[in-house]
Amino acid sequence: MRFITGGESHGPCLTAVIDGLPSGLAIDIDRINHDLARRQAGYGRGKRMAIETDRVAVQGGVIADQTIGAPLVMKIANRDWENWKSKWQNGDLPSVPVPRPGHADWAGMRKHGLNDARPILERASARETAARVAVGAVAKLLLNVFGVCIGSTVCSIGNVMPEISPFHADNPDWPKIWDQSENSSVRCFDADATQAMIEAIDCASSAGESLGGTLCVVATGVPMGLGSHSQWDTRLDAQIAQSILSIPAIKGVEIGPAFDNTRQPGTCVHDPLAIQEGSITRPTNRAGGIEGGMSNGQPIVIHAAMKPIPTTVSPQPSVDIRTRESAHTEYQRSDVCAVPAAAVVAEAMLAWTLAVALCDKTGGDSVAEMLARHDAWRAHV
């Protein structure tokens, strides 16, 4: 199973194609649109979100709300296209000859032999993640059939973080944390931290700055044995790390409290096994749900770091590629803080990675066949 996206930030639409999706999966458009709306929300988002109202339109691969085994094609219209259409068609798009530090501008201009960053930033824009969230929502629909649920919370914005982080707790109540996060404008489970984060974003906005932060995305109900220990590219943790790091501005990933684990002796890091009422249990989850490249039956817990968005109202030193003289960046419309939105995108990427691993584990060309093989495997185990 694979997917590809297409489209530019100010073009007519974004498109996503999922190939290899099993037949017989019920496609709930409302649930896909719900995740698209969650991606658009969050305190600190820019003016673009006031223009767009993302909705998905299925263009192929579905009959009577059921997948048919053909590529699933989805389109998300860009409402801002109406404001850009004439410039786009006439070749009058505003040029960006001064690359913005921290963006794809300079590397992309050099790679493609351009003196204008506009063709680079149009595709490199995080607007593309709307298509990924639609793909991830479909992956969630598949995972839900097998009892897997995914949610997220924001752990910090700038220097602000809750006094107690669930990330380092032994067995947090993740569904409760997700519910609390959904009621926060910055997707943080802690009310006091939410208010402090809002104030930090306001201060950054007034100063012409941007803020980054950290987020936690978790999958519960993941069956044991997804991924493999036998080859480097089949290890589940490696696949998850790649998918999370593919999100714009995400620069760091840890599985479980990995960096905190480095400061502990080995006997305090690894999760013991015990018998409780005839079942094998584990009182801790410091492995983050993955051991030896395979899911171990515990929640998969991912912690990711997002750098401050490189587009800032305050100009940054750069060079005008046309004149080869020092220059300062010109502001391009952007967010002050997009960590809450990135958390929703991280849900999508984790969901996709797990859905692919589940398909690899069970095999089958239909959901019914996957379920039968899944149930047979569980009975065998």
Q: Report the alpha-carbon distance of residue 195 to residue 186 in Å, rounded.
A: 9
Q: Report the alpha-carbon distance of residue 295 to residue 223 in Å, rounded.
A: 7
Q: Report the alpha-carbon distance of residue 41 to residue 62 in Å, rounded.
A: 28
Which position has the token pair 């590629």? Answer: 321
Q: Report the alpha-carbon distance of residue 249 to residue 307 in Å, rounded.
A: 5
Q: Residue 355's closest CA among 58, 72, 57?
A: 72
List of residues 6+ apart from 203 with CB closer than 8 A: none
How many helices (DSSP H) and strands (DSSP E) are in the chain?
12, 16
Q: Report the alpha-carbon distance of residue 5 to residue 228 in Å, rounded.
A: 27
pLDDT one-digit tens code per residue, 259-288: 999 999 999 999 999 998 888 889 999 999
Q: Report the alpha-carbon distance of residue 178 to residue 189 in Å, rounded.
A: 7
Beta bridge partners of 62: 67
Q: Report the alpha-carbon distance of residue 360 to residue 173 in Å, rounded.
A: 29
Q: pLDDT at position 330, please?
A: 84
The per-residue pLDDT string of the chain (381 residues; one tens digit each, 9 = 90 and over) reads: 999 999 999 999 999 999 999 999 999 999 999 999 999 988 987 666 667 789 999 999 999 999 999 999 999 999 888 888 888 888 888 899 999 999 999 999 999 999 999 999 999 999 999 999 999 999 999 999 999 999 999 999 999 999 888 766 778 899 999 999 999 999 999 999 999 999 999 999 999 999 999 999 999 999 999 999 999 999 999 999 999 999 999 999 999 999 999 999 999 999 999 998 888 889 999 999 999 999 999 999 999 999 998 888 888 999 999 999 999 988 776 789 999 999 999 999 999 999 999 999 999 999 999 999 999 988 887
Q: Is residue 174 a contact partner of residue 220, using CB atoms and an 8 Å limit?
A: yes
Q: Report the relative pairing of strands 213-220 and 294-295 from DSSP bridges.
A: unpaired
- CATH 3.60.150.10 describes domain 2-380: yes
Q: Report the alpha-carbon distance of residue 272 to residue 113 in Å, rounded.
A: 55
pLDDT one-digit tens code per residue, 38-72: 999 889 876 666 677 899 999 999 999 999 999 99
pLDDT one-digit tens code per residue, 128-158: 999 999 999 999 999 999 999 999 999 999 9
Domain ranges for the chain = 2-380
Give the HSE-up count for residue 124: Cα atoms under 13 Å, Cβ half-sphere. 18
End-to-end CA distance of the chain: 26
Q: pLDDT at position 310, please?
A: 85
